[in-house]
Structure 1
Amino acid sequence: MPSILTCAIIDDEEINRLTLEHYISLTSSLKLVESMDDALQGLNYFRAGNRVDVLFLDVQMPQLNGLDLLRILPDPPIVILTTAHEDFAVDAFDLRVTDYLVKPFDYARFSRAVQRALLQHETPAPAAAPAPTIAAAAPDNDLFVKVNSKMVRINFDDVLYIEALSDYVVIVTEKQKYIVYTTMKSLDARLRFDHFVRVHRSYIINLKRIEAIEDGAAVVPGGQHVPIGKSYQEAFFGKLNRI
């Protein structure tokens, strides 16, 4: 039986809370247990011993902002940040949030964030390290990724997809995410693996890990849906015909 995640909202703008409450009501895997209008209320809520699986958290709020709340909480839940600004992405990754939704976001984007939360909840894994860079190529299907002072080898056969996020890309495997400080254009130019195909302005997918194609998206392990942009469909399906 699919997991049902309890969740809470902290956002000082009523229209944003109502939008999230509506999206949550449409999502069978989520159950809303609390909706709060400021971070201080949220701080008191968690300090009182209350727990949820997922927290939808606004960044800019009076008195205490969402990022500072996360810095205070000793053991925060899975966090999906919601903000009208992209400027907080680096701080978000430093705080190991699961996703970063830039307002206004639609239900499809919200659903992708929920899929990430479900995967993280069901398959606990080390959080992604902040802002590594791809530093060098290795033989076979590997690339080295520089994480702080350590070089980490990634087997790209294990990569499900790559998603662009502002000046970063997120390399997603079944067990871990790697936040890479580079642009999608630059990464796309360096990937020399034939089984990686650009399917959207924000996504590159590993053809070997596709389990199904439905509703204009490729489905990869964990039930995650990667959208296939209309301008990429011809090349994508042509590539599928050759594997």
Structure 2
Amino acid sequence: MLTCAIIDDDEINRLTLEHYIELSPNLQLEVSLADGIAGLAYFREGHKVDVLFLDIEMPHLSGLDLLRVLTDPPEVIITTGRQDFAVDAFELRVTDYLVKPFEFGRFTQAVERVQSRRATSPAPAAADGPANTDLFVKVNSRMVRINFDDVLYVEALSDYVNIVTAKQKHIVYTTLKALEARLSTFPNFIRVHRSYLLNTQHIESIEDNTANLRGGHFVPIGKSYQDGFYKGLQRI
């Protein structure tokens, strides 16, 4: 779940972004503001978000000037009606640059780019104590906490995934590719098939390129994934 902020003086664009965020099960809107001054105050009060959707041309303080004064900005997706600020924006290391009006598909691509960048960023140093393996997923209208150590496997179902534990299943509106990126910090999860992510902790045996899991579950190991899978096994 990525927390989001919107800073844009265009009310219609703010409403559009709010609607797109509401449609995205992996996004949570924290604040929607109408000018850069309010945005600067919000961040200086100590608030933090994962993604900032930021307009450039705003009165009093432009989006680019706001970025220049923030000491620790989040991932930034520019939303503007002008194409000629792109060079300046990317010099400030924004994640993506959306030119208004943009469709939901293009919005989703920008969010996926944020997820990809976060997945490949160096992980912070681990604190003392056990690692947190819980994630919240959106199931229908509820946010459900899942301990991914308990997950046996994840199966792709078109635009959804089926997250399977020994006790229950959760149908979640996301793609397998997006969830794989989100689980990149969970070393026990590996892609073993175009339609399956597998938690190797729960493998009891492997026979005929099929992983037999605890509780009588079976996951196929796709031909193109077999070399990498078997090389990664600790075996005698």
**TM-score, normalization: structure 1?**
0.51
Aligned to 2:40: 43
What 5-or-longer segments of structure 2 have no aligned partner?
123-155, 160-174, 182-236
Matched, 1:117 2:110: no
Residue 16 of structure 1 and its aligned partner are, at CA, apart by 0.4
Identify the residue that residue 77 of structure 2 maps to in structure 1: 80
Q: What residue in structure 1 maps to residue 98 of structure 2?
A: 101
Deviation at 1:220?
11
CA distance in 2, matches of 1:97, 1:74: 14
Give a deviation string over 1:142-168, Cα, whole Å, max 9, x none.
xxxxxxxxxxxxxxxxxxxxxxxxxxx
Structure 1: segments with no counterpart, 5+ residues:
126-211, 225-243
Which amino acid in the other structure matches residue 9 of structure 1?
I
Larger Rg: 2
State the 4+ residue runs in structure 1 displaced beyond 4 angstroms. Answer: 219-224
Shift of 1:119: 1.3
| From 17, 31, 35, the counterpart of 1:34 | 31
The one-letter code matched in structure 2 to 1:66 is G
Amino acid of the structure 2 residue aligned with 1:62:
P
* Cα distance in 1 between the residues matched to 2:16 and 2:23: 11
Structure 2 matches for 1:172-211, cutoff 5 A?
none
1:20 aligns with 17
The CA deviation string for residues 191-241 of structure 1, in whole angstroms up to 9 with x for no partner, is xxxxxxxxxxxxxxxxxxxxx9x89xxx996679xxxxxxxxxxxxxxxxx
> Could you tell me how far apart the structure 2 residues matched to 1:110 and 1:60 are?
19
Give CA deviations for 1:121-180 in whole Å, capped at 9, x if unaligned: 22216xxxxxxxxxxxxxxxxxxxxxxxxxxxxxxxxxxxxxxxxxxxxxxxxxxxxxxx
Partner Cα distance (2:80, 2:10) in 1: 11
Per-residue CA deviations over 1:36-75 (Å, capped at 9, x if unaligned) read 0000000000000000000000000000000000000011
31, 34, 56: which one aligns with 1:59? 56
Deviation, 1:110, is 0.2
- SS at structure 2 position matched to 1:76: coil
Where 1:96 maps in the other structure, the secondary structure is coil
SS at match of 1:63: coil
CA distance in 2, matches of 1:221, 1:22: 23
Q: Which amino acid aligns with 1:97?
A: V
Corresponding residue number in structure 2 for 1:91 = 88
Aligned CA RMSD, in angstroms, stands at 2.2
Deviations 1:95-120 (A, max 9, x none): 00000000000000000000001112
TM-score, normalised by the number of residues in structure 2: 0.52
Identity, % of aligned positions: 61
Question: Secondary structure at 2:68's aligned position in 1?
Answer: helix
Query: 3-state DSSP class of the match of 1:116?
Result: helix
Q: How many residues align?
A: 131
Match of residue 169 from structure 2 = none
- Counterparts in 2 of 1:33 and 1:221: CA distance versus 1, 3 Å: closer
